[in-house]
Amino acid sequence: MTAFAMNDDHDNPYALLGDDHDDGHRWAFGTGFTDPLEGIDTTVPAGLDAGALARYCLALGDDALIYSHRLQEWVTHMPELEEETAIANIALDLLGQARMLLARAGGILGQTEDQLAFFRAEKDFRNVRLAEHADADFAELVGRLLIFSAWRLALFAELSAAPDPVLAAIAAKGVNELTYHRDYAAQWVVRLGDGTEESHDRMQRALGTLWPLTGELFRPDADAVASADPGAVTVPAFMGVIDTVLAAAGLERPDAVSPPAVAGRTGRDGVHTEAMGYILAELQSVARANPDATW
Amino acid sequence: MTEPQWPLYEVFLRGKRGLNHVHVGSLHAADPEMALRHARDLYTRRNEGVSIWVVRASDITASSPDEKDPFFKPSGDKVYRHPTFYEIPDDVPHM
Amino acid sequence: MTVASEPDLRAHFDETIAAQRRIEPRDWMPDKYRATMIRQIAQHAHSEIIGMQPEGNWITRAPSLRRKAILLAKVQDEAGHGMYLYSAAETLGADRADLTGKLISGRQKYSSIFNYPTLTYADVGVIGWLVDGAAICNQVPLCRSSYGPYARAMIRICKEESFHQRQGYELLLTMMRGSQAQREMVQDATNRFWWPSLMMFGPPDDASPNTEQSMAWGIKRHTNDELRQRFVDMTVPQAEKLGVTLPDPELRWNDERGHYDFGAVDWDELKAVIAGNGPCNAQRIARRKAAHDDGAWVREAAIAHARKNENHDPERTGLTLAVTRD
């Protein structure tokens, strides 16, 4: 494939940025080619329950996969072009986390990341219901992201010391990304809460809609304890972050009650909201329509 | 009704190996914090270790790089700056 | 500022162009140069932004996680390209919000190719191969545009676009080595995008009245037909490697000319699409308009918040959140 030779005889400011830009490989935001799992032994450590580890990685991976899907739906709908880049960044980061986590689970279960993503039935997906929620407006977008990223960041900070080295490496990389996500969401929640009257009302309403989905995040998880023992992501610590943001935003933390489990089961048990079927119908459609294809 | 626009910010980067900040372009943001974050997304691909400056375009005072601008006109044209213009009598000391 | 006369300024401008040096933002330039440059850069920017839609259409349905990441990153790059170009246009005194208004009202255009629908995942690969390929043909010469900020934006964009083309082609190679259904999908997508890709280079030279002045001013470096021919010559061997047939029975190598002969482009179709009557024009603009309109309250809120905090010490109002395990 021939490429035209480009004229080099004019000042190119990017040439001054060092060789990071000229390696010819890096083509996407947030998906640089340094492999976070390089040099890490992928054998499941002795004494660790491999089944529980796989289920837990699946859970964390599904959270990211489904959440990223909802963010991808916002591409070309963002309120300003700069926000398009920002939201695509976040969606890419979460997709990257999903891939690594599904690969870790898949390595134990004998399946590829794509088999898990595209050929599992809804009841076998382990994401929390918060991840499935379709954001009705920008206020819900940033409010939900604040809740999700604050929780996931605190969790990943703990998991950076997980006994499984692969999960620990994934979590360590995720901490940097989630810090950025939480910061982005927090800044926007403050701007909207303390912006115009309309933005304040929308932001408060969004919190009211989203808050019930928070309870599920702190349900005890046997697989988590068995495989990673992440120390409690304590509710008070999470609330501390949320309350700091809400105070700066001039918003009230809602008093809402979490929706109950269905027959004692929630997202982690494969029992989702009605939105999940539509998400998977779309996400899996092309892969399932071409089961013998190579992509 | 015309809504208030997000002001224009100019972006300057200094890479890890760079010696000074270089102008790379502009973007729109509502405030400096947002401008910084957007600059990172748009101009650095979230590269670590790149120093970013964002400056409101309206805060920049610039000259023209064009030679025709009097700012840079060589003194050959400003004849009164040339030493041969002034006639000094021979008998004035120290001149 | 300067006391030079307009003929002097004009002479200096002409000399800069003739010497292949750059015109920079604060230089004097003829009004027509400025207006033409703004329009060209803006329409290029609009193309990048609108171009996000036909490809963005397939992100949520990408059939593998790797393809999904590649496509999402590509669409993100396009947003970035649009912004670099709006940024270049603004150095000429244009205002981005105003340009957006002109796009939405139809007073400024975007590349005709994005008015075609993307109907299968193969379309994603074909857009990378043919559409980005055609764009690269157009854009590499623009890296030597007489206008400095535009040329610099083009250098960055061309680098990224060459990856996009490679990714699209690689997807097609994979599909052509895959299942029969995949091969048929690629051929079908090629059939639908080949002629519109040729139309991307614009009307034939004898129907392009502005070409001469644009070439003289370094706004355009090659004619439409020259670039179109170059694109065909490059692409035919690529199609052969893929194993797809380009839908033009008159396509054949001409030894005398040293180029491929190709059939007649349907200029009526191009005219109709440019006039707003392509398959997807209304839908593309409606989406852009909706995002812009729906986002107004958000943009206003950000300004309102910024104004409230303008006079505060940034150290004091910064929102600091702990990251440690506490």
| Separation in Å, CA of B63 to nearest CA in chain C | 8
* CATH code: domain of residue B12: 3.10.20.520
Q: Find the domain containing A100 and state its range.
A: 49-289
The answer to whether residue C286 neighbours chain A at the CB level (below 8 Å) is no
Residue A38 is assigned to a structural domain of this protein: no
Range of the domain at B37: 8-81
C3 in reach of chain B (CB within 8 A) = yes
Which one has a higher pLDDT value, C7 or A200? A200
Residues A290, C181 contacting (CB under 8 angstroms): yes
Chain C contact for A76, CB < 8 A? yes
Rounded to whole angstroms, how far apart are CA atoms C173 and A10? 36
Whether residue B89 lies inside any domain: the answer is no
| Cα B87 from chain centroid (whole Å) | 41
Exposure letters A170-188 (e unless 16+ CB within 10 A, then b): bbbbbbebbbbbbbbbbbb
Burial environment of residue A109 by CB neighbours within 10 A (0 to 12, 13 to 18, 19 or more): middle
Residue A14, classed as helix, strand or coil, is helix
Q: List, in order, residues 6 or more apart from C189 with CB less than 8 Å away.
A: C119, C120, C122, C123, C125, C126
Residues of chain B with pLDDT > 70, as a percent, come to: 59
Partner-chain residue, chosen from C1, C305, C309, that has the shortest CB–CB distance to B69: C1
Residue B49: the pLDDT is 64
Q: What pLDDT does B17 receive? A: 79
Cβ–Cβ < 8 Å for B13, B43: yes
Q: Domain total for chain A?
A: 1
Within a domain: A33 = no
User: Has residue B70 been placed in a domain?
Assistant: yes
Give the model's pLDDT for residue A266: 92
Q: Tell me which residue has tokens 């440690």.
A: C324
Which residue among A6, A88, A248 places its CB closest to the CB of C75? A88
More confident residue, A86 or B91: A86
Residue C185: name the closest of C119, C113, C114 by CA: C119
Query: Which ipTM value was assigned to this complex?
Result: 0.93
- Contact: B8, C90; criterion CB under 8 Å: yes
| Interface contact B70-C1, CB threshold 8 A | yes
pLDDT of B65 reads 57
Q: Decide if C12 and B31 are in contact by the 8 Å CB cutoff.
A: no
Q: Give exposure, C207-229, as e/b (b: 16+ Cβ within 10 Å).
A: eeeebeebeebbbbbbbbbebbb
Q: What is the pLDDT of residue A37?
A: 79
Domain assignment present for B50: yes
| pLDDT tens, position by position, A17-65 | 333 343 333 333 334 456 777 788 888 888 889 999 999 999 999 999 9
Structural domain count of chain B: 1
Among A262-266, B33-37, B53-57, B89-93, whose mean pLDDT is lowest? B89-93
Is residue B52 one of the residues assigned to a domain?
Answer: yes
pLDDT at B95 over 60: no
B22 bridge partner residues: B13
A294 pLDDT above the threshold of 80:
yes
Query: Which tokens hold the place of B13?
Result: 């980067």
pLDDT at B91: 58
Q: Does C96 touch chain B (CB under 8 A)?
A: yes
B17, part of any domain: yes
Position A278 in a domain = yes
Please report whether residue B46 resides in a domain. yes
Structure tokens at C66: 């790797």
Of A17, A30, A81, the CB nearest to B13: A17
- pTM of structure: 0.89
Give domain status of residue A37, yes or no.
Answer: no
User: Would the pLDDT of B12 be above 60?
Assistant: yes
Round to whole Å and give the CA distance between A206 and A98.
26
pLDDT exceeds 90 at position A6:
no
Residue C319's pLDDT is 65
Residues contacting C37, CB < 8 A, separation 6+: C29, C89, C92, C147, C150, C219
Nearest one of B6, B5, B28, B24 to B14, comparing CA atoms:
B24
CA A56 to chain C, closest CA, distance in angstroms equals: 20
Check: CB of residue A84 under 8 Å from CB of residue A75.
yes
Give domain status of residue B53, yes or no.
yes
- In the DSSP assignment, the letter for residue A279 is H
Q: Which of A262, A254, A271 is nearest to A212 (CA)?
A: A254
Question: Does position B66 have pLDDT exceeding 90, yes or no?
Answer: no
Q: Does C323 sit within 8 Å of A153, measured CB to CB?
A: yes
Helix (H) or strand (E) run with residue A238 in it? helix A235-249
Contact A187, A179 (CB under 8 A): no
Chain B residues with CB inside 8 Å of A13's CB? 13, 22-24
Q: Give the pLDDT of residue A241.
A: 94
Q: Calculate ∠ Cα C25-C153-C139, nearest 5°.
A: 120
Q: What does the pLDDT profile of chain C (326 residues) look like in tens digits?
A: 455 788 888 898 999 999 989 998 888 899 999 999 999 999 999 999 999 999 999 999 999 999 999 999 999 999 999 999 999 999 999 999 999 999 999 999 999 999 999 999 999 999 999 999 999 998 888 999 999 999 999 988 988 888 899 999 999 999 999 999 999 999 999 999 999 999 999 999 998 877 888 888 888 888 999 999 999 999 999 999 999 999 999 999 999 999 999 999 999 999 999 899 999 999 999 999 999 999 999 999 999 999 998 866 554 445 667 554 33
Average pLDDT, stretch A219-234?
A: 73
pLDDT of A15 reads 36
A 164-223: CB under 8 A from C: 175, 179, 182-183, 186-187, 190-192, 194-196, 198-199, 202
**CATH number, domain with residue A108:** 1.20.1260.10
pLDDT tier at A231, thresholds 50, 70, 90 = low
The verdict on residue A123 lying in a domain is: yes
Q: How far is C65 from chain A (nearest CA, A)?
A: 6
- Is residue B90 one of the residues assigned to a domain? no
Stated length of chain A: 295
Measured in angstroms, the CA of C32 and the nearest CA of chain B are apart by 19
Does residue A294 lie in a domain region? no
- C300–B28 C-beta distance less than 8 A: no
**Mean of the per-residue pLDDT values for chain B?**
73
Nearest to A82 among C83, C137, C165 (CB): C83
To the nearest whole percent, how much of chain B has pLDDT over 90?
A: 32
Q: Is 50 exceeded by the pLDDT of residue B82?
A: no
Contacts of B4 in chain C (CB under 8 A): 300, 303
* Nearest partner of A216 among A97, A63, A90, judged by Cα: A63
Tell me which of B41, B53, B54 to substitute to probe the interface with A (most A C-beta atoms closer than 10 Å): B41
Domain-located, residue A40: no
Residue that has been written with the tokens 């992100």 in this structure:
C59
Question: Is residue A34 a part of any domain in this protein?
Answer: no
CB pairs under 8 A between B and C: 70
- Any bridge partners for residue B56, and if so which? B9
Which has the higher per-residue pLDDT, A272 or A11? A272
